[in-house]
Structures are given as C-alpha cells and as structure tokens.
Chain A
Amino acid sequence: MKATLKESASLGLTLALFAAGACVALAVVYSITAPTIDGLEKKQTEESLAELFPQATSFQLMPETLVSADPAVRFTESYVAVTGPGERVGIAIKAFGPSYGGDASILVGVDAGNGIAGIKILTLKDTPGLGANATSPNYFVDRSSGTTWPMQFKGKSLSDAFEVKNDVVAITASTITSKALTRIVKAAGDAGYARLKAFAEGGK
C-alpha cells in the first residue's frame, strides 16, 4: 500500500511538472501574440465601421448591450456613429446568429432614416463555393451594377418584409445561408432602429 501511494504521488508530480513546463511556454507565446491579436480585431472593427458610416467622424462604444427580439440572434457590442458637429447618424451592432456552418457574425449599420446603412459580414463558416459566396467580392446578385450579396441591404427600409426570394435576393443554391444571414440583419436592424428612436425621443 505504501509503495502504491508513493508511485501515484510520483506520477502526479511528473504530470504536474510537464503541465507547468507547458504553461510557461504558452504564457511566453501568449504574451508575445496577444497585443497583435487584439490590435487586429480592433482594426477590423474600426475599418468595418468606417465602411458602413463613411460620413461619421467617430464611433462611441455603447455602454449597454442591446437585446434582440429574435431568440436565435444575440448581440455583443454596438457603436453610435457620430459626425463632426456631434450629430448621431446611426448605430452599428455586432450580431451573432446560427447559419449553415455554425455561428455567423455580422456588423449591421442602421441609419437614423429608418433604414439599413449597410452590413459587413465578419465571420461566416459556410460551404466554400455555396454559402461562402455571401462574403465573396466576386459573387454578384446583380452583375450589371456589381452588387454583391451584402450590398443589396444598403439603404433597405426596415419596413420591408426581409423575405428571401421575395425582397432579398438569395445566393444560388444556398437558401439556408441566405435566410440565416437575413434573419440576423433584420433582428439587428430592428433593435438598432428602436434604440435610435429612443435616442430621438429621450434627447440625449
């Protein structure tokens, strides 16, 4: 009995030593890469925000998280777009929702005039050549005007039906992706519009 106790103690100790060594190595790599990873994410968000609201000069991170009326869609951070004179021109919401290949995230811009300012698909893991065409710069829903799939939402009124194959053009052979992404856009659009309305009524 004594020998077994000693044995298991030494096993545990060896295991702990290996784990400690791995931890130290990982901590070193993490401390080197973490600032770059954070910076990249921040830069991507900033670039996307500027793309949605080119007229805005600054973006304020909203202190509260907006609540989605659609149970399948959830929001993380949202930003208020502000122009030079301090006028609110819109709101941008980072929204997550299920799509064909797992959760997709979209940055949805809503402008003060009751419409979608634009959308930017941040992550999408759907099938290459099918659903992934949603993010392809070479896949057009209208080839003559060079409109890509996300671009069709630009300026779209929130009173529209947001129905795929009706007022939203579907991606060929990818109805599931089209519907899932449209649902996220609609949920974020509604929430953003409601918040903008509250801003207008409540003054500041």
Chain B
Amino acid sequence: MKRLWNIFSRGIVVENPLLMLMIGLCSALAVTTSVQNGIGMGAAMTFVIFFAEVVISLFRKLIPNSARIPIFIIVIAAFTTMVDLVMKAYTPDLSKAMGVFIPLIVVNCIIMGRVEAFASKEKPLDAGVDALGMGVGYTWVLVGISAFRELLGNGTLAGIQIMPDAYVPILFFTLPPGGFLVFGLFISLNFWLKKVFPAAADAAKEAA
C-alpha cells in the first residue's frame, strides 16, 4: 500500500511532469487562459494517460520491442480520439475552447514518456497508479496556472466576475509571455514545496 502511495505521490511534486520533468509544456501554456480550460485539459489528459498506461502495461509482454513506438501511438491516439468525440458531444463549449489541443494529446510527451519509461516495464496496477499520480500532478498545475492567469488577466474565475468593476484586467497574463512568467513562478513554488516536505521527497526517491 505504502509502495503504491509512493508511486502515486511522486507525480504530484517530486517528479511533477510539468514542473520537474518539464515535458508537455506547449499545450499546458496554451490552454491555461481560463480555469474551465485547465480543468478540462487536465481531465482529458488524465483519462488518456490512465488508459494508455494500463492497456500498454497489460499487453507489455506481447509488444515486440522494435515495434513498440508505433503501437504506443496507436493506443494513445485511440484514447485521445475517444476523449475528443465525447467532449464534442457532451461538452461542446469546452471542446471549442480547447480547439486543436485535445487531438494534440496524442503527441504529448508526458504520456509517451511515462508509457515508455514506466508502463512498458511495470504491472498494470502500478502503471495505473503512476498514471493517476502524473494526471493529478498535471491537473493541479494547469488549474493553478489558469486560475492565476484568469484572475489577473480577465478579472474572473471560471467565468464568474471576481474582481471589482474598477479593476482593469492586466492583459499581459492572458498572453503567452504572461503564461511563461506564471509558469516560472510555479516552478519555484514546486521547489519550495519540495524543500518544505523533504520527507515525502525522500520516501519517493526510495520507491523510485
């Protein structure tokens, strides 16, 4: 149980895919202009990475080493297309706001990286837990960055006006440079978290 918890918690701070491994950044910076987008993208990505890791881990012994990359891509693309179709049908507004970034989950390096480095070698249960940890780690960063950017750049949170009318939105934060700045702040926040909770970090290191 403790071992699984360690696998799970790794993705949240110590090996956070965005803030520590620093992969999959382009879509993360592009969609984080509003909180709904952050939640939607995080959920979509978590769904895809979870099923991709579990399926690939289940079939890991049947996947020939020399054809593994195309097979990974087939599996990831299938789940991504499912998410895309489901979002188009049931959350059309969100799907419109995210545009091309949902189909682009196929080539998200976080999924490719975890599938290659973890799921193709470990048991399905471990792979699923790892995927959930990575998904949660990805989602909290996205929601955090988007809340920051939406509040300062648009004066709203999840579309609801928060700032008083007199507040003039700082457009800088909704534009790409603002995204980079906020992202940098989150990297340092993550380093601070790591320092404050060194015990968790050590435990995770042992598990890894």
**Measuring CB to CB, which residues of chain A are less than 8 angstroms from any residue of chain B?**
10-11, 14-15, 18-19, 22, 25-26, 29-30, 33-34, 36-37, 40, 102, 123, 125, 127-130, 173
Q: Which listed segment binds A: B8-16, B64-72, B131-139, B187-195?
A: B64-72
- Min CB distance A105 to B, Å, is 11
Q: Is B77 engaged at the interface, CB distance under 8 Å to the other chain?
A: yes
Given known A14-B62, A127-B174, A129-B171, contact A30–B85 (CB-CB < 8 A): yes
Q: Is the interface of B mostly helix, strand, loop or mixed?
A: helix
The list of the 5 closest CB pairs from A to B, nearest first, reads: A22-B78, A36-B89, A33-B89, A129-B174, A33-B85
Chain B residue contacts of A33, Cβ below 8 A:
85-86, 88-90
Q: Pick the most buried of B63, B70, B78, B88: most chain A CB atoms within 10 A of its CB.
A: B78
Given known A10-B64, A14-B62, contact A128–B34 (CB-CB < 8 A): yes
Q: How far is the CA of A25 from the CA of B79 in the complex (A)?
A: 9
Q: Is the interface of A mostly helix, strand, loop or mixed?
A: helix
Q: How far is the CA of A19 from the CA of B62 in the complex (A)?
A: 14
Q: Is B81 engaged at the interface, CB distance under 8 Å to the other chain?
A: yes
Let me know if B64 and A19 touch, CB within 8 A: no
Q: How far is the CA of A18 from the CA of B88 in the complex (A)?
A: 25
Chain B residue contacts of A127, Cβ below 8 A:
174-175
- Min CB distance A48 to B, Å, is 14
Q: How far is the CA of A26 from the CA of B62 in the complex (A)?
A: 21
Let me know if A125 and B99 touch, CB within 8 A: yes
Find B78's partner among A25, A36, A37, A40 (CB 8 Å cutoff): A25
